[in-house]
Amino acid sequence: MKATSLGATQIGIRLARTVGVLLVVSILVFMALRLTPGDPAALLLGPDAAGQPGYKAELARLHQQMGLNRPLPVQYLLWLRGILSGNLGKSNQNGAPVVHLLAQAATPTTWLLVLSLIIAVPLSVLIGTIAAHRRSGPVDRLIRALAALGLATPTFWLGILLVIVFGVELHLLPATGFVPPSDPGGFVRSMILPVATVVAYLVGVLTRYVYVEMCEIFGQDYVRTARAMGIAERAVQFRYALRNALITLITIVGVQFAALISGAILVEQVFGLGGIGQLMLQGVVQKDYPLVQGGVLLITVVVIVVTTLADLLSRWADPRQA
Amino acid sequence: MTERVHDGSPGIRTAVITSRLGLSRLPSPARCVVIVIWLLVALAAIYPRAYTSLNPYAIDPSAILAGPSSRHLLGTDEAGADIFTRIIYGTRLDAEICLFGVAIAYAIGVPLGLLAGLRRGVVNEIMTSLTGGILAFPIVLFALLVVGSFGASAGTLIAIFGFAFFPQVLLMTRAQTMAVYSRGYVLSARAAGLTNRRIIFVHILHNIMGPLLVLVPQLMATALLAEAGLSYLGVGVQPPSITWGALLLDSSNYYHSDPLYAITAGLVITIVAALLLITGDMISESMDPLRRR
């Protein structure tokens, strides 16, 4: 596991590819919104403004202000230059800097994702290991049936069920809304149901892989050797098998991250957390170019960074792949 | 599938295919249950009146948000329309979206996958980047962009699913093609001087069809769940069209007064998605001799 085993060239190629993908995404996002009917300036003025005196002049002034009167390539390059200096432009709707809006909306989304992963990863390792250990027994079958059911359940509907049971019927927890962590009690209460929803989804996905991996590992030579050497069963499970299971999990989280974001956007909507998903939904409806461009770019960057990190990490942790 | 082929009598070939599909074996009880539920779902999609005589769009001011009764099995919605009827009538559009979406994914994915698997080199590199890029993009985000540009409708959803799912079909086709290509019978077919078209259709496509078939119900389940999510966000089908996802969005106004609405709509989605996944498992099990019991 030398540090150089990955190879500088390999990392270089990977980085070049990443930059390429980002450029392609930025062009696609930029074009997707502009090639279609609907003028954001007209949308901003509202349908009633059309036909009133001075409407044309007002529209032209807005176009100038939003930079929409310039040729498309110029608009794109200006936007790209802005990104490089950390400026994503201003929202068409309320003039707030897009960076601020995104940062604000990213808070609940990030908490939701991070807390869910922190809980779901160890939980699925535990459950998957137990199932693999009791292979073919009733516990194993129950766990696998639940995991399969988890795959078939729309995650956000699980959230709706939790809202109905704990928020509406029992009044135990708030049904919707995000409370910032500066109020720890309220924060925890507001996050329990959304996090539980995403955790249920993640455990359903991850347990399957842990299970398969563990079943395989328990039959491998080095585990058999460790057992024969009289190393305690629990130590075998957790020292030898766990490492391999974790490598698998890192890879899977990387591969599944895009799906996880999709799920999180929906869960946010169910619980009214006011995260990135809701912001983007608004932006799309209002044709708020700068906001949607910035949001898509941010999420794409996060997905690519996480995927690449997961890939590098699993290669680093697994001497066979290096 | 029973077309005449020169490298084997048609009878034998048909038998091979039917046994691959697990149809030659007597169905087990679990298989029967799955088949019966499938028939029930198909009936709901094709002839919804078999289940209900009510009109899903009928407005009944005398029964707004009524609870379950003998006339309204699951109660009524805000306009007095029967919820059970609406769920039944939602089946068809959902089925269409899933079927056509997955069909488009195959129409794009299979030819590109064959190309990547046979040509390799630069073509393969391009396909790898393309699929990697698409798979790394969250589908909800992609859908938001497309709907923002083209408007929300069942057709947009179908296009979205076709585009979002074809990379998986491509990757599967490519992997299978590469595996099959180096096998003895393809090598001997090439050595015998058969045309490329003949090799592709008779030898390769024929032998990779099994694994490709397994992917169909899986992708349809994914499409079903994604349809529900997107319609719930309001970027799926628009009223008055009915899908199960649209019903979930509708039901979100009535968690207090009629929680049964949201529960049933989601339950139907879960059951059908599970049915699709189980079917996929069954197909792959019946094709894998090692897993046959």
ipTM: 0.79
Rounded to an integer, what distance in angstroms lies between the CA atom of residue A33 and that of residue A39? Answer: 10
Decide if pLDDT at A98 tops 70: yes
* pLDDT average, residue stretch A109-119: 93
Contacting residues of B for A256, CB less than 8 Å apart: none
- B237 occurs within a structural domain: yes
Are residues B132 and A21, on separate chains, in Cβ contact within 8 Å? yes
What CATH number should be reported for the domain holding residue B179? 1.10.3720.10
pLDDT of residue B281: 81
Are residues B229 and A156, on separate chains, in Cβ contact within 8 Å? yes
**Domains identified in chain B, total number:** 1
Nearest-CA distance A185 → chain B (Å): 26
How does residue A113 score in pLDDT terms, banded at 50, 70 and 90? Answer: very high
* pLDDT average, residue stretch A137-150: 79
Residue B66 token pair: 């009524």
pLDDT of residue B24: 45
Residue B90 token pair: 């939602």
- B286 occurs within a structural domain: yes
Q: Which residues of B122-131 are buried (b: 16+ CB within 10 A; e: fewer)?
A: eebeebbebb
pLDDT of residue B9: 42
How does residue B15 score in pLDDT terms, banded at 50, 70 and 90? Answer: very low
Which of A97-101, B57-61, B84-88 bottoms out in mean pLDDT, i.e. has the lowest?
B57-61
Query: Which residues neighbour A256 within 8 Å (Cβ) at sequence distance 6 or greater?
Result: A205
pLDDT of residue B5: 39
pLDDT of residue A7: 66
pLDDT of residue A37: 63
Candidates B135, B225, B259; nearest CB to A154: B225
Which of A252-261, A270-279, B54-63 bottoms out in mean pLDDT, i.e. has the lowest?
B54-63
- B195 occurs within a structural domain: yes
pLDDT in tens, B27-46: 677 788 888 889 999 998 88
pLDDT, greater one: A111 or A181: A111
From the list B218, B17, B204, the residue with the least C-alpha distance to B101 is B218
- B234 occurs within a structural domain: yes
Q: Assess A107–B contact: CB distance below 8 Å, yes or no.
A: no
Rounded to an integer, what distance in angstroms lies between the CA atom of residue B213 and that of residue B289? Answer: 16
Are residues A160 and B269, on separate chains, in Cβ contact within 8 Å? no
Are residues A160 and B248, on separate chains, in Cβ contact within 8 Å? yes
- B140 occurs within a structural domain: yes
**Residue from B34, B127, B134, B144 whose CB has the most chain A CBs within 10 Å, to mutate:** B144
Are residues B229 and A266, on separate chains, in Cβ contact within 8 Å? yes
Which of A113-122, A285-294, B100-109, B154-163 bottoms out in mean pLDDT, i.e. has the lowest?
A285-294
pLDDT in tens, B167-196: 999 999 998 888 887 777 777 877 787 777
pLDDT in tens, A57-77: 777 887 777 777 778 888 888
Decide if pLDDT at B227 tops 70: yes
Residue A7's SS3 state is coil
Are B52 and B71 within 8 A, CB to CB?
Answer: no
pLDDT of residue B78: 76
Decide if pLDDT at A3 tops 60: no
Rounded to an integer, what distance in angstroms lies between the CA atom of residue B211 and that of residue A200? Answer: 29
pLDDT of residue A80: 82
- Domain holding B186, by residue range, is 9-291
- B2 occurs within a structural domain: no
pLDDT of residue A130: 82
Rounded to an integer, what distance in angstroms lies between the CA atom of residue B224 and that of residue A37? Answer: 29
pLDDT in tens, B116-165: 888 877 888 888 878 877 887 788 888 888 887 777 889 999 999 999 99
Contacting residues of A for B150, CB less than 8 Å apart: 36
Q: pLDDT averaged over chain A?
A: 80
Q: Which backbone phi and psi does B255 adopt, to 5 degrees?
A: -60, -35
DSSP of A63-80, one letter per residue?
HHHHTTTS-HHHHHHHHH
Decide if pLDDT at B83 tops 90: no
| Contacts by residues A150-153 (CB-CB < 8 Å, ≥ 24 positions apart) | A150/A200, A150/A201, A150/A203, A150/A204, A150/A205, A151/A204, A151/A205, A151/B221, A151/B273, A151/B277, A152/B221, A152/B225, A152/B270, A152/B271, A152/B273, A152/B274, A152/B276, A152/B277, A153/A204, A153/B266, A153/B270, A153/B273
* pLDDT average, residue stretch B83-104: 92
Rounded to an integer, what distance in angstroms lies between the CA atom of residue B172 and that of residue B212? Answer: 7
- B179 occurs within a structural domain: yes
- B223 occurs within a structural domain: yes
Decide if pLDDT at A235 tops 50: yes
Q: Assess B30–A contact: CB distance below 8 Å, yes or no.
A: no
pLDDT in tens, A14-31: 777 777 777 877 787 777
Are residues B150 and A36, on separate chains, in Cβ contact within 8 Å? yes
How does residue B220 score in pLDDT terms, banded at 50, 70 and 90? Answer: very high
Rounded to an integer, what distance in angstroms lies between the CA atom of residue B94 and that of residue B223? Answer: 9
Contacting residues of A for B129, CB less than 8 Å apart: 17, 20-21
